[in-house]
Every structure is written in structure tokens, then in C-alpha cells.
Amino acid sequence: MKRLLYLLFAILLGTNAAMAQLKSNEHDKDIDIELLRKLQIAQLAITQLYVDSVDQNKLVEDAINGMLEKLDPHSSYSNAQQTKKLNEPLEGNFEGIGVQFNMLEDTLVVIQTISKGPSEKAGIVAGDRFVTCDDVTIAGVKMERDSIMRMLRGPKGTKVKLGVKRNGNKDLIYFTLKRDKIPVNTLGASYMITPKTGYIELDRFGATSGKEVKEAIAQLQRQGMQNLILDLTANGGGYLGAAFEVADQFLEKNDLVVYTEGRTTPRQVFHAEGGGLFTQGKLAILVSEYSASAAEIVAGAIQDHDRGTIIGRRTFGKGLVQRPIDLPDGSMIRLTVSHYYTPSGRCIQKPYVKGQHDEYSQDLNNRFTHGELTSIDSIHLDSTKVYHTLREGRTVYGGGGIMPDVFVPLDTTTYTKLYTGIRRLGLINSASLKYIDRNRKKLRAEYPDFNDFLRHYEVPQSLIDDIIAQAAEKDVKPKDDEELQATVPDLKFTLKALVAYDIWDRNEYFRIINEKSDIVKRALEVLESGT
């Protein structure tokens, strides 16, 4: 007990000392010293006196999470491992062996090796199966995908020994690879969708996004691009700096891109630096209910400056700025400190109630239920939040998210109930992977050129029949022959895109799926016919 009293006394002294250091902060009046003491004493008392042993680390993490859960939906805590995993897709690289893969019946199958990465240099090829890693069996043992990835990744310069099963070889082939920095690209596709119009799909806003978009624009301009479609429909955001760099390619010097402001955070303004590669041609930005944060910043800036046409559906409405607070053990708090505002003054963040995260998470489902995603007549604009674009004075609305200039409804009639059921079971992906694995060499030999593949490749009926049979085994069946016949073309279309992705890359995948995209079709109409 004496020891506990001494510790409590030390806490009081330590708290006083810490508070003395905080006195220089202009917001020190918001800090309640007694509450800090209360929190520390509670943690110490539980640790020292509770009837059962406690995990101190978990106790502290639960306390942090408990506090953050009472705040906005985007303030969060992540432990050291989670923090590293969360940052990787945005940092521009990770350290590993450089392969793209899929899991086929709990075995890792290589789809592609990353150019100039360790796997390519060692001679690993598409279709190879990883059986062992550092003499530990990883195939056929129901090992989790994340566990396999942790074994393959590691610090640059470290070595990993792989036992590989290759088609045509009876025995395993062994490779020793030296791990290296592996680039993480954020650009999903870049190609000329018509002789005059380029198309760029951006997955997220990472450290390399500005450079990737700039290089893609330059390449498309060399191919004669006059108009551009920038697809942000599946872009959930990322770095503010990356959003600024991308927007900079389209705006004039000193154009306001975005500003941020919070209770204790002074206003910060971000202006275009000028010198962008595409400041004059026709521009369409594609958005959906999944476009968020940095994607909304770009769309809002383009709209407010009347630089391009926003096409699609109202964006997510994530306009809260998180400041990362690094903790000593590698963990991190992402604390909301301010809001994002578009150049016209619209707050991007949609409304929320502190602590009611479940209701917030159901927003997209509510939008669908209320018809906002499928009918323009169901969209209710907030008449109290009227703003105007900066060049043409067009009316735009606040209230959360970016409302497009041209609405394209979500088509809920595109697919049959049978197709939806088959996709929900994951049968399309698994069947395509098995088919490609058996026929990869043949397909690559038969279709060395993608355009030839696009014109002539037909998905075999046997693959369709196999999928339909597998679905029937799981009690997913067509109600009649009419539904079956209506489903087959969609199955063939999706499978053809997946085959293209495996043989080539996502660029070719998008070239196929965009043929049926209503948003892309509408964008082409707007850009090339002016309607």
C-alpha cells in the first residue's frame, strides 16, 4: 500500500510538472488538471488493486478507444501493427518480394511479378505456387492470407527462401530472394478511350499519385488527348498533399483548391501552384457514393472553379481532417482537428451525431433505401446551404458531399437475381482463377495482343456451365430459362474482364468493364457532344 501511495504522489507531481509545460499553449484553459489526475489514478488503481491480473496495454488501448468512440466517426486509434498496415497503401512502397497473387484453394498462386522486383529478377513467373516459405509449409494448411503476407514481407535486404511448385515440374523449385522496396501504384488505368478522349482511373491518393497522374496525362497527350475523364468513383481518399498535386494539373495558378479550419486549428489555405499539364481541355470527374475525402477535395475544387463537369452521384461526405499523433510504441491516434471546405465555402463533411457511429455507418444504405442513388427526384438539396461557383456563378449546394453536375443513377436492373447470387457466392472469381491457371500459357500464346483478345476472345460455354452447376449445388438456380439466358452475357462479360486482368493488368480490365459503365458513357456524351 505504501508503494501505491508513493506512485500516486508521483503522478500528482508529474501531472503538475506537465501542466506547467502546457501553460504556454493558448488553449491550456481547455485542459482540466484534475481530470488528468483522475484518469491516471484510475489506471494505476486498476493495475495495482484489481482482483484479477490485467493486461495494461489493452487497458490503456480500451481507454483510448472509449474516448474516441464518443467523438466523431473518423477519429481513431491503431496499434503499431495496424498503423504500419494502414500506411503502406499510401506511402508509395512497401518492403517485400514483389508479386501480385490470388489464393486458389488455400494456395498462393502468382498472377504477376512486379517489374524489376525481387521475384521477377529471381525468375518467378505467373502461375507459380508458393508451397514453402523458409522451410515452413504455407500451401494446403489453411493458413490465413495475412499470415502468408507477413511471412513474405520483411525489411529491405533480408532474405527469404521459397519452395515453388511450377506446372510441368514434378519437384519443388527453390528460390532465395532478397527483399526490396516494392512500389505501390495508385493509378488503376490510363488509356485513350476514344481518339480524342483519355481516361484515368485513380484508386486512392497516395504519396506517388501526383507524379502518376502527371505522367499519365503527358503520355495521353502524346497520343492526341483533347478531353479527359478522371475516374474517382471508387476512390476513398488519402493524402491531402496528393489531392492538391492532382488538382494542380487542372487549375490555374493561385486558384484556391481547399481550405481547412477547426476550433483550435487556424485556417489553412491551399492554392494551385500553376503549370499543370491539363488546364485547358474538356474535363469530366466521375464520382459516386464511395468517393470520399481527398477525392471530394478534387471534385469540389474542379466544380467550384467551373473547370470541369462532375458526373455521377453525390459523394460520401468525408470532410474531417485527421492529425496523426504518433505514440511511443508505434501506435497512432488519428484525431479530427478541422473541416475541409471547398473554394466556394462548402463544408464537405456530412452531418453526424457524436458517438452515434452506427447511424453514420448506415448512411449509404439509407441513401439507397430513400431512392437517392437511383432517382434524381429523390434527391433533396439543402436550401439553407446555397453557394455559387467562382467563375460562372452557378448554384451549388452544401450539406455534405459533392453533388454532381450531371446525375447518373445506380442501375439496379443491370443484373439478374441469378447473376447477383452467383457473384455473392464468389463463384465467378474462383472459377475464372482456376480456368486461367489451366490455360494461362495457351491464352498468352493465342492472344499476344490485347486488341486481338478484345475483338476475338470468347469465354467458353463449358466455363459458364461449370459456374451454373456450382451455383445450383449451393441452391442458387435460375427461376426459368429466360433468366438463365439473360444471365449468361453478363457472366461472359465479367469473366472476359477477369481473364484480361490476369493476362495483362488492370488497365486492360478497365478497358473492358468501361464498355458497360453508365457513368463513363454519360461522360463521353458530355465531353464529345457537349450535352
Catalytic residue annotation: 293, 304, 318
**Taking Cα atoms as reference points, which of 149, 68, 93, 146 lies closest to residue 322?**
68
The region, left, alpha or beta by phi > 0 then psi within -120 to 50, assigned to residue 399 is: left
Cell of 14: 508529474
Q: Which of 74, 65, 64, 67 is nearest to 360 (CA)?
A: 74
User: Which value, to the nearest 10 degrees, does the dihedral of the CA atoms of residues 421, 424, 426, 427 take?
Assistant: 0
C-alpha cell at 67: 474516448
- CB contact at 8 A, 205 and 242: yes
Of the candidates 243, 406, 245, 388, the residue with the CA atom closest to the CA atom of residue 304: 388
Cα separation, 145 vs 103, in Å, equals 8
Measured from the Cβ of residue 357, the count of other Cβ atoms closer than 10 Å reads 16
3-state SS string for 102-170: EEECCEEEEEEECCCCHHHHHCCCCCCEEEEECCEECCCCCCCHHHHHHHHCCCCCCEEEEEEECCCCC
User: How many Cβ atoms from other residues are within 10 Å of residue 316's Cβ?
Assistant: 26
Q: Where are the beta strands (DSSP E) in 203-353?
A: 227-231, 256-261, 268-271, 282-287, 309-312, 320-326, 332-341
Contact 129, 108 (CB under 8 A): yes
Amino acid at 395: T
Element (H, E) at 239: none
| Separation of alpha carbons 486 and 243, rounded Å | 41
Q: How many CA atoms lie within 13 A of 25 on its CB side?
A: 12
CB neighbours (10 Å) of residue 424?
Answer: 12
Task: Count the residues in the chain.
Answer: 531
Distances (CA, A) of 476 to 41, 161, 412, 470: 59, 43, 19, 9
Phi-psi region of 157 (alpha: psi -120 to 50; beta: other; left: phi over 0): left
How do the residues of the chain divide into helix, strand and coil, expressed in percent and rounded to 5? 40, 20, 35
Interior angle at CA 248, CA 244 and CA 251, nearest 5: 125
Q: Which amino acid, residue 59?
A: L
